[in-house]
Structure 1
Amino acid sequence: MSQTEMAKVAVLWRGDHEARKSATPANNRFYRIFEELTAIGIAAQPAVYSDEMVDEVREQLLNVDGVLVWVDPIHDGQTRVVLDAMLREVASRGPWVSAHPDVILKMGVKEVLHRTMHLGWGTDTHLYRNTSAFQSEFPSRLESAGPRVLKQNRGNGGQGVWKVEQISPTGSDTVLVRVLHARRGSVPEEITLHEFMARCEAYLRPDGCIVDQPFQSRLPDGMIRCYMGREKVVGFGHQFIKALIPPPPEGPDSDAAQPGPRIMHPASAEPFKALRAKMELEWTPQMMDVLNIDSASLPIIWDADFLYGPRTESGKDTYVLCEINVSSVFAIPDQAPAAIARLVNERLRKK
């Protein structure tokens, strides 16, 4: 690309034919990202996608220098199988893609919780890759270790994430458990452990797995979302979530059952100073080493969701990683669009 040629970037999200036809840089939720890219001389264009339009979108992406993708792993029964195959093809033919599907499979899946459990953000984490391991190991762990949280490898919006606690006494003929799905509107359910585990076997389909972690008792203190622009923190979000917390007497659809607003904070926010230092200086470099991801391959925007772990003897907070989001990180802090534009510009210049 010559110095006088304007770089072209496509911003891709899911929609239908009408949404693709009517999309402009200004009439969608990513408008601030379009504004910041334009401000530094990058020609940004909408790329609304659906599987039915894959050929049309592929042709568009082959004529840009880079692609920024915001598409959840699962949405209304749709997956990323067709999209990811197309993005891999596009990336192999020249344009830069963030996040690349192969990077998502390393970072943006629940398995990363097991692969990085030895880092400072880890906890007592186990992985089941098949039905045999799940059936032989999980029941005794549930009985001895207290409430657990099971997570399917790929999902979003709480899909396939369950709190499980045993409620029948040891030695009972039938082990009963109380389970709560993390999806909004869910209510606790008492069923046999056998029934629940059978329900989860769908998560062990080929290339699937189940991650098993202890339930964090400080969940009511909220979740901290640490937004990353490649290796650097670009902001934080703190939210009092209600997933895996039983709904109030008013019911799962009541106002009291809804999560609180996510309060955004800049990267410099004092309450998260220690977490920022850990992420930038220790945990992110260590994760990159474990997962074999170099700096150039890191997503332009990603986030790590933390719950508060047990306090130290001196009363300081600890943090437990509950997931990494790479596929579709939005909403984002006010400072993030400018950081995204700057990092896109840097990446395209190196390319």
Structure 2
Amino acid sequence: MAKTETGKIAVLWRGDHKARKSATPENNRFYRVFEELKALGIHAEPVVYSDDIVDDVYEQLVNFDGVLVWVDPIHEGQTRVVLDAMLREVASRGPWVSAHPDVILKMGVKEVLHRTKHLGWGTDTHLYSTKSAFWAEFPSRLESAGPRVLKQNRGNSGQGVWKIEQISRPAGDGALVRVLHARRGSLSQEMALGDFMTRCEAYFTPGGCIVDQPFQPRLPDGMIRCYMGADKVVGFGHQFIKALMPPPPEGPDSDAAQPGPRIMHPASAEPFQALRAKMENEWMPQMMDVLNIDSDSLPIIWDADFLYGPRTEAGTDTFVLCEINVSSVFAIPDQAPAAIARLVKDRLRAKFPSK
């Protein structure tokens, strides 16, 4: 494989043929990443991907030293099935890929909420791996435990995430429930529990499952997005989200129904230092052990979304992991592009010591 003096990096995202032909390091949302890579002497090129040119993209990528990937799990009906197979083959040829599809399947799926529920970020989380288990266990749990949130294993933008609240008894598939989808613009619906569960059966695809967590009453306090560069915090984002909250009287498309802006903060921001210490010193090493991931395999950029849990008796906040995003983390804090570039340089040195 031909190598440049400083290393050659592809920055990959999904787009159409027009975007592929016109892409430059300057005319896309990742321009800051390109700038920081260039500042460290690393050559980076844009690679715009679509499934119908997977072979062409593969031939491109095998000539790079590494690939940074930003592609959502689900987008307008498209998945990552074809892309992930190709990226595995690229990685087998020598270039490192971040995030590698196998790492995504460990970290970037909702199943991780169940596998790590015993960590300090966990809660009363259950996993349904089959339709029969879902039907056997969920109705009674909903009746006894109160409002729940169900999540399909792999998705983004609120797709396949539901709040369910039982509003009539007795328990069972005939009970009346109120459901609300997390996708923007959704309205609450009342229906029989059995009808809703039948709708959810579509999530039991090969490798699919449903994760079940309690609804967090402090949702109106906002969500904290903890941005990670490998195993270190590189920033925070705090946002007053509206997903899983009933739309205002003005309607789901009104200004009042839209989420607030995500306010970015540096890793040093004082309000988040307790969370930073937990992430770096406790939860990260524990998660890596549970998932069997070493530090060199961690994604160069990823995030963990937290909701506020119940306050302790002393009045301090606790945090509940809502999801981990690995496939396509953007927007990112101002400090993150430089951290990404430094991590890329470290990976190049580790894999290609002569660079």
Short-chain TM bin: over 0.9
Aligned to 2:113: 113
Aligned to 2:98: 98
Whether contact under 8 Å (2:163, 2:181) holds in the other structure is: yes
Matches of 2:281 and 2:347, distance apart in 1:
22
The answer as to 2:221 corresponding to 1:203 is no
TM-score, scaled relative to structure 2: 0.97
Name the amino acid aligned to 1:87. Answer: L
Aligned to 1:310: 310
Aligned to 1:49: 49
Aligned to 2:267: 267
CA shift at 1:174, angstroms?
Answer: 2.8
CA shift at 1:55, angstroms?
Answer: 1.1
CA shift at 1:169, angstroms?
Answer: 2.6
Aligned to 2:280: 280
Matches of 2:40 and 2:218, distance apart in 1:
43
Matches of 1:173 and 1:9, distance apart in 2:
53
Whether contact under 8 Å (2:2, 2:63) holds in the other structure is: no
Whether contact under 8 Å (2:9, 2:42) holds in the other structure is: yes
Matches of 1:202 and 1:209, distance apart in 2:
10
Matches of 1:221 and 1:197, distance apart in 2:
29
CA shift at 1:4, angstroms?
Answer: 7.7
Aligned to 1:82: 82
Matches of 2:172 and 2:11, distance apart in 1:
56
Matches of 1:265 and 1:214, distance apart in 2:
28
Q: After alignment, is 164-173 or 121-130 more displaced?
A: 164-173
Local SS of the residue matching 2:124: coil
Relative to 1, partners in 2 of residues 1:4 and 1:141: Cα closer, same or farther, differing over 3 Å?
Answer: closer
Matches of 2:2 and 2:86, distance apart in 1:
28
**Structure 2 regions of 5+ residues with no counterpart?**
none
CA shift at 1:56, angstroms?
Answer: 1.1
Aligned to 1:18: 18
Name the amino acid aligned to 1:251. Answer: G
Name the amino acid aligned to 1:315. Answer: G
**Structure 1 regions of 5+ residues with no counterpart?**
none
Whether contact under 8 Å (2:15, 2:50) holds in the other structure is: yes
Aligned to 1:34: 34
Matches of 1:2 and 1:253, distance apart in 2:
52
- What do you get for the CA RMSD once the two structures are aligned? 1.3
Matches of 1:3 and 1:164, distance apart in 2:
54
Q: After alignment, is 113-122 or 51-60 more displaced?
A: 51-60
Name the amino acid aligned to 1:69. Answer: V
Local SS of the residue matching 2:184: coil
Whether contact under 8 Å (2:311, 2:318) holds in the other structure is: yes
CA shift at 1:53, angstroms?
Answer: 1.2
How many aligned residue pairs are there?
351
Matches of 1:137 and 1:161, distance apart in 2:
18
Name the amino acid aligned to 1:299. Answer: P
How do 1:143-154 and structure 2 match up within 5 A?
143-154=143-154
Alignment identity in percent? 83
Matches of 1:171 and 1:76, distance apart in 2:
36
Local SS of the residue matching 2:334: coil
